[in-house]
Structure formats: C-alpha cells, structure tokens
C-alpha cells in the first residue's frame, strides 16, 4: 500500500499556501506591502521587500514603490510586466540562498526587459528571515490531542504526523496541519532545520527509529521523547551502539516536560511539555532578536551606502 498524505506538506511553503488560500490573499497585488509584512511575520515566512529607489525616464511606478515577495506569492506591485517578473525571480533566488545582504540592481525597461516605457529603474532588495518556531509531533495519540490544544494557541507552526487516519482527523478538523503517512519516518527528511521534534507514537520501535534518525541528522533545536527513565535507559543503550557519534545522545530530552509540572493525565503531561517548549521558545527568541538586530544594523549601513552611490550617480 503506497504512502499518502492528508492536508498540506511539512514544507513551510505548503503550510503558508493553505493559510493564504483560506484568507483569499495568495498573490494579491492589492494588499498593501506593510500589511503583507505583518501577516508574513505572524506566519513565520521568509520574505523580500523590493523597493524602487531611483529611476530615469518613463517607468510604471515612482521611487518608493514597494512589493513583498515570498517563495510562494507576492503582494503589492512595482507596475507589472517583465520588470516585476524579473524582480520576483531575483528575490526568490535570494530567499532560496538565505541572502541577508541588501542588494541594489539596475533594470533597463527597453534594452533589457523589452517594455515600451523606455526608462530605467534601480531596485533595492531587502531580505527578512523570520524565526517562528516549528513544532513537529510524531504520534497523534491522547497526549498529542491535548498538547495540540495548547500549542495551537501559541505563536508557532505546528504539524502532526501519524499513520492512523482516525487519530489525525480530529486534529485536521481543528485546523491543525497534519500528515498521514504509512511510514512516518519518511517525513523526517522534510522537517525544517531548527524545528522542535517531539516523538510520541504508539510503537516503541517506531519511536526508536525516529529518535535515532533525528539525532543522527543533528540539525534540530530540540529532540524530545515521551517516556519514563526506564525507556530512556533502554533507548540510550541501543543508541550508543547505532549512532555514528555517541555524543549525539546528549541532544535527546527524555522524559519530556517541565520538571515542576507534575501529573500523568494526558492534559497534565501536555501542559508540562508546553511549558518546557515555551521556555525553549523564549531562549531562542532572545538569541534570534540579537542576531536579527545585528543583521538589521548591517542592512541599514548597506542601504545608506547604496543611497549615497545613487545620489552620486544622479549628480
């Protein structure tokens, strides 16, 4: 029986497409660029702001005009035509390569782009890579049902993966992103780097394989395994034999949950795990804010230098 999917894929582009389609906002040139930025920040989607910073001759739009571009869609407009097509293509190349530097490119509407306006524009590209946490839960059982109730109210992207339709359906009905896979391990390669991976399937053998592969990839912000100290000891014994680097075991959190939140009922465990994740999100957020502040300072300096060059060229 081949594997099959429900709802959207794990890729952020797929998740964003679903949310935007539900709101009728996909590729909406009439949505103001600032509102688009606010929406994308909430979604946790990387984007580029393309701004016309200088022009000569006849052009579709004047200096200061902006549009916002993601890998999946675009908002507002620089006037359409081949200029906009080329700007979108360049912005998406920068997003794909995780570009952080401000870039300014010159486009000649007649010579390069075949537009009848006859002028030329210089476009500034600014890239913003947001830091909304991704939580990926393997296993849609009782604890997951309770945990998603809490996490769905937090600023994070949430996906649940399981091979049982009857457990995923209630989550999907609540608007949670789910994946139905005969072999859930297949999804691990598509989980975004720096995601928070939580393993709580109905099968200890499946738990072990997902945990082992997640640790081996060594690219996630958190790998958490539900279970007792006894389960942890059994897993660690096997992991020491199978991992390429025994030190990777240090990246495993088991049992999961905040130590000060006690109880074994599904909702009690869920609240404990949510408290632990909230604490981790806060630490990551503080680090990301500092990193983003450093990037923005560099971008500001680059933009000012670029504007000076533009003024000199016009003189």
* pLDDT (tens digit per residue) in 234-252: 999 999 999 999 999 999 9
Higher pLDDT, 49 or 26: 49
Q: What is the pLDDT of residue 79?
A: 83
Residues 162, 177: Cα–Cα separation, whole Å: 12
Give the number of other Cβ atoms within 10 Å of residue 223's Cβ: 23
- The CATH number assigned to the domain holding 194 equals 3.40.50.720
Range with the lowest mean pLDDT among 26-35, 86-95, 123-132, 284-293? 284-293
Phi, psi for residue 80 in degrees, rounded to 5: 80, -165
Residues 168, 64: Cα–Cα separation, whole Å: 47
* pLDDT (tens digit per residue) in 177-191: 999 999 999 999 888
Q: What is the 3-state secondary structure (H, E, C) of the chain?
A: CCCCCCCCCCCHHHHHHHHHHHCCCCCECCCCHHHHHHHHHHHCCCEEEEEEEEEECCCCCCCCCEEEECCCCEEECCCCHHHHHHHHHHHHHHHHCCCCCCEEEEEECCCCCCCCCCCEEEEEEEEECCCCCEEEEECCCHHHHHHHHHHCCCCCEEEEEECCHHHHHHHHHCCCEEEECCCHHHHHHHCCCCCEEEECCCCHHHHHHHHHHHHHHCCCCEEEECCCHHHHHHHHHHHHHHCCCHHHHHHEECCCCCCCCCCCCHHHHHHHHHHHHHHHHHHHHHHHHHHHHHHHHHHHHHHHHHHHHHHHHHC
Please determine, for residue 19, whether its predicted confidence score (pLDDT) is greater than 60: no
**One domain, residues 77 and 174:** no
Last residue of a domain, one of 131, 166, 184: 131
Q: What is the pLDDT of residue 290?
A: 47
Last residue of a domain, one of 85, 101, 131: 131
Domain for residue 295, yes or no? no
Into how many domains does the chain fold? 2
Domain range holding 179? Answer: 134-277
Higher pLDDT, 274 or 194: 274
**One domain, residues 142 and 253:** yes
Residue 278 CA: distances (Å) to CA of 197, 250, 274: 14, 21, 6
Domain for residue 266, yes or no? yes
* pLDDT (tens digit per residue) in 133-164: 889 999 999 999 999 999 999 888 899 999 99
Please determine, for residue 289, whether its predicted confidence score (pLDDT) is greater than 70: no
**One domain, residues 174 and 230:** yes
Domain for residue 146, yes or no? yes
Domain for residue 226, yes or no? yes
Q: What is the pLDDT of residue 117?
A: 55
Task: Please state, for a pLDDT cut of 70, what percent of the chain lies above it.
Answer: 77
| Mean pLDDT of all residues belonging to the chain | 82
**One domain, residues 41 and 120:** yes
**One domain, residues 108 and 217:** no
Residues 135, 161: Cα–Cα separation, whole Å: 11
């Amino acid at each position: 029986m081949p594997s099959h999917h429900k709802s959207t894929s794990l890729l952020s582009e797929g998740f964003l497409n679903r949310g935007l389609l539900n709101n009728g906002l996909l590729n909406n040139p009439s949505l103001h660029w600032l509102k688009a930025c606010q929406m994308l920040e909430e979604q946790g989607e990387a984007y580029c702001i393309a701004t016309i910073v200088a022009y000569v001759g006849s052009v579709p739009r004047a200096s200061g005009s902006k549009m916002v571009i993601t890998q999946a869609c675009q908002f507002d407009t620089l006037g359409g035509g081949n200029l906009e097509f080329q700007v979108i293509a360049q912005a998406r190349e920068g997003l794909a390569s995780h570009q952080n530097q401000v870039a300014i490119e010159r486009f000649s509407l007649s010579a390069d782009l075949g537009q009848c306006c006859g002028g030329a524009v210089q476009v500034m590209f600014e890239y913003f890579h947001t830091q909304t946490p991704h939580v990926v839960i393997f296993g849609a059982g009782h604890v997951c049902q309770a945990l998603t109730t809490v996490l769905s109210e937090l600023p994070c992207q949430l996906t649940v993966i399981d091979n049982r339709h009857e457990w995923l359906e209630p989550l999907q009905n609540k608007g949670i992103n789910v994946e139905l896979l005969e072999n859930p391990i297949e999804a691990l390669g598509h989980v975004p780097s720096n995601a928070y991976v939580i393993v709580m399937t109905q099968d200890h053998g499946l738990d072990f394989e997902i945990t082992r592969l997640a640790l081996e990839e060594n690219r996630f912000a958190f790998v958490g395994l539900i279970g007792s100290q006894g389960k942890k000891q059994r897993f660690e014994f096997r992991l020491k034999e199978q991992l390429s680097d025994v030190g990777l075991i240090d990246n495993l959190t088991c049992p999961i949950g905040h130590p000060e939140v006690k109880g074994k009922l599904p909702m009690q465990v869920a609240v404990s795990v949510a408290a632990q994740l909230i604490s981790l999100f806060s630490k990551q957020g503080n680090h990301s804010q500092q990193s983003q502040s450093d990037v923005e300072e560099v971008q500001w300096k680059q933009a000012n230098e670029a504007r000076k060059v533009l003024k000199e060229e016009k003189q």
